[in-house]
């Protein structure tokens, strides 16, 4: 998915939830994209917590294709289709998985987003065994110093 389409989808999401106050953040390649890493996301991944999944369910109801418990991820998951692209929103039941993450404010293309820092993403990729991705981020972080 190109940058323009990603931005269009994120605008729709941000507009739908703009009056709500709850914790959420971008995940995966979309988080990397808005931090300035040259990637082309296949979809948009969002992580939220218990109250957030309810807000997304209510505010984005017309886009929901699936609303289910994802056994593989141990998460309550929403699969949406916005502008013909997939958006996956997850509330992971293992709260400990997020204990070391801080929500970073990210301003991207006029949008106010939340995500994880490159440092946190590098740690996360390493912790889940995605060593190649973690090493790429480590190299990027090293070259930025």
With bands split at pLDDT 50, 70 and 90, how would you rate the model's confidence at 101?
low
For 118, the token pair is 């490159």
Instruction: Count the Cβ atoms, other than its own, within 10 Å of residue 125.
Output: 18
Phi, psi angles (nearest 5°) of residue 2: -75, 170
Q: Which residues pair with 48 in a beta bridge?
A: 24, 91
The pLDDT tens digits for 46-75 are 999 889 999 999 999 999 999 999 999 889
pLDDT of 98 reads: 57
- Architecture of 3-95+102-143 per CATH? 2-Layer Sandwich (3.30)
With bands split at pLDDT 50, 70 and 90, how would you rate the model's confidence at 103?
confident
Going by their DSSP bridges, the two strands 75-82 and 64-70 should be labelled as antiparallel
The pLDDT tens digits for 111-134 are 999 998 899 888 888 887 889 988
Write down the residue that tokens 């929901």 correspond to: 64
- CA 65 centroid distance within chain: 18
The pLDDT tens digits for 16-46 are 999 999 989 998 899 999 999 989 999 999 9
* Single pTM value for the model: 0.89
With bands split at pLDDT 50, 70 and 90, how would you rate the model's confidence at 97?
low
Going by their DSSP bridges, the two strands 75-82 and 111-115 should be labelled as unpaired
117, 106 in Cβ contact below 8 A? no
Q: Give me the DSSP letters along the chain.
A: --HHHHHHHHHHHHHHHTT----EEEEHHHHHHHTT-----SSEEEEE-HHHHHHHHHHTGGGEEEEEEETTTTEEEEEEEETTEEEEEEEES-GGGGTT--PEEEEETTEEEEE--HHHHHHHHHHTT-HHHHHHHHHHHHHT-
């Amino acid at each position: 998915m190109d940058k323009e389409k990603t931005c269009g989808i994120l605008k729709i999401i941000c507009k739908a939830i703009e009056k709500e106050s709850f914790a959420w953040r971008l995940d995966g390649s979309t988080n990397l994209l808005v931090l300035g890493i040259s990637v082309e996301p296949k979809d948009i991944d969002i992580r939220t917590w218990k109250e957030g999944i309810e807000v997304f369910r209510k505010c984005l109801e017309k886009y929901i294709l699936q609303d289910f418990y994802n056994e593989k991820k141990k998460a309550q998951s929403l699969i949406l289709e916005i502008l013909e692209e997939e958006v996956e929103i997850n509330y992971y039941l293992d709260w400990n998985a997020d204990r070391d993450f801080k929500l970073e404010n990210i301003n991207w293309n006029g949008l106010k987003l939340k995500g994880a820092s490159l440092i946190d993403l590098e740690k996360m990729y390493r912790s889940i065994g995605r060593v190649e991705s973690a090493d790429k981020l480590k190299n990027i972080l090293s070259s930025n110093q």
